[in-house]
Amino acid sequence: MPSITIRHGLAPPSSNLTARRCRTPWLESELFGHEKGAFTGAVRQRKGRFELADGGTLFLDEIGESSASFQAKLLRILQEGEMERVGGDETLRVNVRIIAATNRHLEEEVRLGHFREDLYYRLNVMPIALPPLRERQEDIAELAHFLVRKIGQHQGRTLRISEGAIRLLMEYSWPGNVRELENCLERSAVMSESGLIDRDVILFTHQDRPAKPCLPAGQRKTAGWTTAWTNVSD
């Protein structure tokens, strides 16, 4: 899913991090910071994302894949506004708005004992459920144009996408959702020397997956949805 950054107040700091991609020790050091000598390579004190985002917003992607120890520390920040750096004993006060997202069914993860129930309810202030991309075919064109502009900026050139390529994108089922769409367009951009992404350079990850018809909103299933929660600590 795309990274989300929300600011509030007088331009406070904001940051985002994907929990799934991080091993627990590195994740905790990145978020909570560490003291000098806390572990091999910790040659100086370092502030973490929570301190740097104090008074602002922190987006945590794939929260459903975080460890039990991290969940306990996150709950303490949300409830008490307190934390310690890795290797330290000084209690620090932080006030951070958390936006968390996951592709997992967290209610089921709670039932199975994989996710803390108290943390789930602490985060579940304003849930936003997004259906998978295959059920939002009407969004594909706008997303594709946005991603092509983004990719062009990263590559330092002007990129465009043809209507034929857009129609082809709308015929695919996108099991990997927006991440797969972005990867597909990045691959297509590399293959497009002219700067125009046409249907002849579109290569799908799964070539045998035709698009499924877009269902009416009332008939959409919740399985596979991406859910984001917001939590405000005052």
From 129, 155, 170, the end of a domain falls on 129
Same domain for 74 and 19, yes or no, is: yes
Does a structural domain hold residue 219? no
Specify if 206 maps to a domain. no
pLDDT of residue 234 exceeding 50: no
96-107 pLDDT tens trace: 999 999 888 999
- For residue range 122-159, what is the model confidence (pLDDT) as tens digits? 999 888 888 899 999 999 999 999 999 999 999 999 99
At residue 17, the pLDDT reads 59
Supply the pLDDT for residue 72.
Answer: 95
44 neighbors 85 (Cβ within 8 angstroms)? no
Domain containing residue 151: CATH number: 1.10.8.60
Residue partners of 169: CB distance under 8 A and separation at least 6: 140, 141, 144, 181, 184, 202
**CA dist., res. 105 & res. 116, Å (int):** 13
User: Does one domain contain both 78 and 63?
Assistant: yes
How many structural domains is the chain composed of?
A: 2
Asked, for residue 176, whether it belongs to a domain, the answer is yes
pLDDT at 211 over 70: no
Output the pTM of the full model: 0.67
**Residue 175 domain-assigned (yes or no):** yes
